[in-house]
Structure 1
Amino acid sequence: MPKKYYAIIDVGSNTMRLVIYRRDNGGRFREIENVKAVARLRSHLQDDGTLSNAGMDTLLRTLKGFSEVVLSYRLEELICVATATIRQAGNQEDIIRAVSDETGFDMRILTEQEEAYYGYLAVVNSTPVEEGITIDIGGGSTEVTYFKDRQLIDSHSFPFGALTLKQDFFADDLPSEEELGELRRYLLEQFGTLPWLKDRRVPVIGIGGGARNLVQIDQNMKEYPLAGLHQYRMKENDLAFIKNYLHTLSMEKLQKVEGLSKDRADIILPATEVFHCLYDRTAATSFILSRKGLRDGIFYEQLTKDMGTDVFPNVLEESIQELVSDYDLNLKQIHHVQHLAGDLFRALQEKGIGSLNKEDWLEVKRAGHVFNLGEYIDGESSSQHTFYLLANRTIDGLMHTDRLRLALLASFKNKTVFKQFLSPFKEWFLKEERKKLRLMGALLKLCYSLDSTRRQAVEKLEVEVTSEEVLLICHCKGAWMAEEYQAEKHKKHLEKSIKRSITMQFVEKR
């Protein structure tokens, strides 16, 4: 099947970006090329509100460069959108015409409402957050939205961005204490004009380069052991610490801060102040980064146009199905292992073993989808590959701690390897949580071994639990020698977790 490519060009106030996507057989868009240019078009708006000739030259030169890149692909569709600076330019009609004449691109200028909406759409289709406030700081505007039950309730676009705030409030690249105080008062006053922001006590989700750089700085300072930025969570004291730390640095040192793009060094302080002020105004519970933003929102709209809704029914389910497809996992085996795991899980739960609950079963079932997926790379070290792939791959719909839990369950091999994988993250979990994760991983490992030949030879489990023993009666069809061997080999891991011996009986189903 021929590959289908799509492209989007985002003409922002600070940066311009071209992103090429490939659509896979499952309908998902995968980013395969990302070209960024720091154009700072906002600085080319003149006193009369028009984009200057120099700004026009920068815009057209950059777009011509993008047009050369897209020639390498046979595109199904190319979308070119522009935001605040072009939207606010008094000569936007001349700009649109020049872009069309010089590059052939049909540039669409997004309204304030559209820009806010696409940011919201990106967040609800790529994170597990049910209720929250999004904020997208561009160079010349800032969009905020409030959503509940994943539905958009309110939105607003402020006519200020990181570049304009710097220009309006800072005399030099680095602000004085007085200038920062004046900026903070202004931002709190602006956010105060929206009653729906006050004391929401929900997460604030940051979109865009400023939020991304803030998270990268935080991860570098903490020597964060997991890969990935999307769905990373910070608290108010993290925001305050980074803001205060950055304010102490000279421009030369600021440009060398790990995680901070050099081209954003002079605008990171106003961006950070915006996040901090919004956090205070909303009494936020946390600050979460969404790597998915406006461009992704536009493509989510494309993906869902035949669904009757722009919001995916279940973000995590979509991501799990993507993993199953990417690693060519056997769905028949997955469902059978989940079936056997359900029989055993319910029996232990009924006896109160391990304090298992409904949420634990959902985790076991989820891990059953991707258990041992590292075998795709190498059978001998599949546990290591499984853990690394899941722990260090962005999974839309899973926060970082939940992604780590999934990796620990799906890669379970034995107690030693489990502790080895857990070691860098030991402080993330209480002792009881660690014990329960080990139990659930051992349970899943045993049930996986009961379908070792992928023939569903063990059709169902009958479980009897006493204070000293668990009796597993395995009702089988056909030959079950391989399953019996593997189960007897691996049952010890679960025995240690539940502190009971496990006796297994394999009987032919009548």
Structure 2
Amino acid sequence: MARNYYAIIDVGSNTMRLVIYLKDKSGRLREVENVKAVARLRNHLSEDGNLSDEGFRVLLTTLSSFKEVAFSYDLDELVCVATATIRQADNKEQIIHAVSEETGFDMRILSEHEEAYYGYLAVANSTSVQEGVTVDIGGGSTEVTYFKDRKLINSHSFPFGALTLKQDFFKKDLPTEEEFYKLRRFLMDEFKTLPWLKKKNVPLIGIGGGARNLVQVDQNLKEYPLAGLHQYKMKDSDLSFIKNYLFTLPMKKLQKVEGLSKDRADIILPATEVFHSLYDTIQANGFILSRKGLRDGVFYEQLTKDMGTSLFPDVLEESIHELVSDYDLNMKQINHVQHLAHQLFHQLHEKGLGSLRKEDWTEVKRASYVYNLGDYIDSEASYQHTFYLLANRTIDGLMHMERLRLALLASFKNKTVFKQFLQPYKKWFLKEERKKLRLLGALLKFCYSLDSTRRSTVQDLHLASHGKDLHITLYCSGEWMPEEYQTEKQKKHLEKSLKRNIELSFVESK
């Protein structure tokens, strides 16, 4: 089977990066190679505005190295883009020509608007945030955008980045209190020049290496038990704590902080102050990391060029279908189980049983797509694999807590295993939330047992209440003995959650 590989080279002011993507069977791009070089081209922009000879040497040597890696793949397409430093260089035409002569790459210099737009596009196509402000701080520029209903409303590129802020405000690698205060005052004044940023009270979404390192430090300090950075959320107090913690450390200790890249140790403080000052300006209601950024935005534009819109219709739906495809899940069975689960859920809801709310159905439906997907790996330990895969895999469109809830529902086996999976995260949930999740998991497991042979034998169901007992009539087409056996075996989990005895009657459908 032919494999489709795509590559992008991002020539940034601080780092240069080559990323190779593989187009999977669901049509999405999956990262298979990520090569980074800390080139710091910004430091090679001379006072006369030209990239220096040494800057040319670093740029061309790095690109030649990337070319060797990239061409070890049979590429369908390679894109090379450059941002602030090359954009601001007076000899940019000479740079483009040299790159073409030396490597054969057709380097595209992104405009300020394009750089901001691609960051927004990556966020809009990989998170569930409907309204927010994005910030991408590079070495030589900082891009901010505001979007609402997933549509870009405003964008701006500030001519400063982590490297230039350090050069302009810090005499040494680490700032004094006065230097740090002056930097904050400067940033607050700059952000106030954009009226559309003031008091938005929406999430601030961080893109790029500075934001990623900030989140990694936070997760390490908290001994965070879930894997993944994308869509991780921090509060104002978290940002303040990290900033103050990093500010107190000497450079040797700063370089050894878990989660902080050694090559970013000297520029993490200006980057963190950009996030904190912008957070205060927009009066954000949270700081969310997007692992997807400019590079992904460029390819999202490519992927959607035949759609008439650059936005995926539903980010989470795309991710769920990606999981269904990756684990060869049976869509016919999923649809049938959803039909039965919908009937049972709403009949329980109508009778006021289980304290169910209409919005709980959304979680049941979502989990029904991926219920017990770990069976793909090993049927004997399928529930463990299901929980681990869903809890620790990035799922675009789901925040970390939503992803954990999905994992708990889709891996439900029994009360003991549920409590075992929940144990490291127990403090994250109120007692009533834990009970509700257990009930929803038991309901889903019960409905899957109704289609244990995947023949859609049980077509409909009806729930009746008799005092403390529940009676479920199951209308069948064809032989139902295997379904009856499995359901009688599994109903105890639902009985325990509802605190009701359940009687089952299997009858022929009229």
The CA deviation at 1:509 is 1.5
Distance in structure 1 (CA, Å) of the matches to 2:466 and 2:333 = 30
Matched, 1:87 2:87: yes
Residues 288-342 of structure 1, C-alpha deviations (whole Å, 9 max, x = no match): 0000000000111111111111111100000000000000000000001111101
Matched, 1:243 2:223: no
Alignment correspondent of 1:195: 195
Residues 198-253 of structure 1, C-alpha deviations (whole Å, 9 max, x = no match): 00000000000000000000000000000000000000000000000001101000
Alignment correspondent of 2:451: 451
Alignment correspondent of 2:376: 376
Residues 401-442 of structure 1, C-alpha deviations (whole Å, 9 max, x = no match): 000000000000001110111111111111111111100000
What are the residue-to-residue correspondences of 1:44-443 with 2, within 5 Å? 44-443=44-443
Residues 100-135 of structure 1, C-alpha deviations (whole Å, 9 max, x = no match): 000000000000000000000000100010000000
Distance in structure 2 (CA, Å) of the matches to 1:352 and 1:55 = 70
- The question of whether the paired residues in 2 share the 8 Å contact of 1:408 and 1:422 is answered with yes
Matched residue SS, 1:9? strand
- The question of whether the paired residues in 2 share the 8 Å contact of 1:467 and 1:500 is answered with no
The CA deviation at 1:465 is 2.5
Residues 125-168 of structure 1, C-alpha deviations (whole Å, 9 max, x = no match): 00010000000000000000000000000000000000000000
Distance in structure 2 (CA, Å) of the matches to 1:453 and 1:414 = 21
- The question of whether the paired residues in 2 share the 8 Å contact of 1:348 and 1:465 is answered with no
Residues 436-491 of structure 1, C-alpha deviations (whole Å, 9 max, x = no match): 11000000000001111111111111111344121111111121111111111110
Alignment correspondent of 1:473: 473
- The question of whether the paired residues in 1 share the 8 Å contact of 2:25 and 2:325 is answered with no
Matched residue SS, 1:358? coil
Distance in structure 1 (CA, Å) of the matches to 2:465 and 2:192 = 60
- The question of whether the paired residues in 1 share the 8 Å contact of 2:5 and 2:74 is answered with yes
- The question of whether the paired residues in 2 share the 8 Å contact of 1:23 and 1:30 is answered with yes
Percent identical pairs in the alignment equals 75
The CA deviation at 1:380 is 1.1
Matched, 1:3 2:3: yes
Alignment correspondent of 1:34: 34
User: What letter matches 2:84 in structure 1?
Assistant: A
Residues 331-379 of structure 1, C-alpha deviations (whole Å, 9 max, x = no match): 0000011111011000100011122122210110010000000000111
Distance in structure 1 (CA, Å) of the matches to 2:369 and 2:328 = 11
The CA deviation at 1:508 is 1.4
- The question of whether the paired residues in 2 share the 8 Å contact of 1:5 and 1:74 is answered with yes
Alignment correspondent of 1:43: 43
User: What letter matches 1:65 in structure 2?
Assistant: S
User: What letter matches 1:149 in structure 2?
Assistant: D
Ranges in structure 1 where 5+ consecutive residues have no aligned partner: none
User: What letter matches 2:59 in structure 1?
Assistant: L
Give RMSD over aligned pairs: 0.7
Which deviates the most, 292-301 or 357-366?
357-366
- The question of whether the paired residues in 2 share the 8 Å contact of 1:120 and 1:152 is answered with yes
User: What letter matches 1:494 in structure 2?
Assistant: L
Distance in structure 1 (CA, Å) of the matches to 2:358 and 2:200 = 29
User: What letter matches 1:299 in structure 2?
Assistant: F
Alignment correspondent of 2:485: 485
- The question of whether the paired residues in 2 share the 8 Å contact of 1:347 and 1:465 is answered with no
User: What letter matches 1:143 in structure 2?
Assistant: E
Distance in structure 1 (CA, Å) of the matches to 2:352 and 2:94 = 72
Distance in structure 2 (CA, Å) of the matches to 1:28 and 1:68 = 25
Distance in structure 1 (CA, Å) of the matches to 2:58 and 2:243 = 32
Distance in structure 1 (CA, Å) of the matches to 2:271 and 2:183 = 11
Tell me how many residue pairs correspond in the alignment: 510
Distance in structure 2 (CA, Å) of the matches to 1:24 and 1:281 = 41
TM-score between both structures, scaled by the size of structure 1: 0.99
Distance in structure 1 (CA, Å) of the matches to 2:24 and 2:251 = 44
Residues 60-109 of structure 1, C-alpha deviations (whole Å, 9 max, x = no match): 00000001011211111100000000000000000000000000000000
Distance in structure 2 (CA, Å) of the matches to 1:231 and 1:464 = 43
User: What letter matches 2:85 in structure 1?
Assistant: T
User: What letter matches 1:475 in structure 2?
Assistant: Y
User: What letter matches 2:427 in structure 1?
Assistant: E
Distance in structure 2 (CA, Å) of the matches to 1:392 and 1:504 = 37
Distance in structure 2 (CA, Å) of the matches to 1:478 and 1:380 = 29
Distance in structure 1 (CA, Å) of the matches to 2:97 and 2:380 = 60
- The question of whether the paired residues in 1 share the 8 Å contact of 2:26 and 2:321 is answered with no
- The question of whether the paired residues in 1 share the 8 Å contact of 2:37 and 2:62 is answered with yes
Distance in structure 1 (CA, Å) of the matches to 2:293 and 2:237 = 25
Matched residue SS, 1:14? coil
Distance in structure 1 (CA, Å) of the matches to 2:465 and 2:221 = 49
Distance in structure 2 (CA, Å) of the matches to 1:246 and 1:252 = 12
Distance in structure 1 (CA, Å) of the matches to 2:213 and 2:415 = 38
Matched residue SS, 2:244? helix
Distance in structure 1 (CA, Å) of the matches to 2:430 and 2:123 = 30
- The question of whether the paired residues in 2 share the 8 Å contact of 1:210 and 1:268 is answered with yes
Alignment correspondent of 1:19: 19
Matched residue SS, 1:408? helix
The CA deviation at 1:26 is 2.3
Distance in structure 1 (CA, Å) of the matches to 2:131 and 2:25 = 32
Matched residue SS, 1:325? helix
**Where do 4+ consecutive residues of structure 1 move more than 3 Å?**
none
Alignment correspondent of 1:506: 506
Distance in structure 1 (CA, Å) of the matches to 2:122 and 2:197 = 20
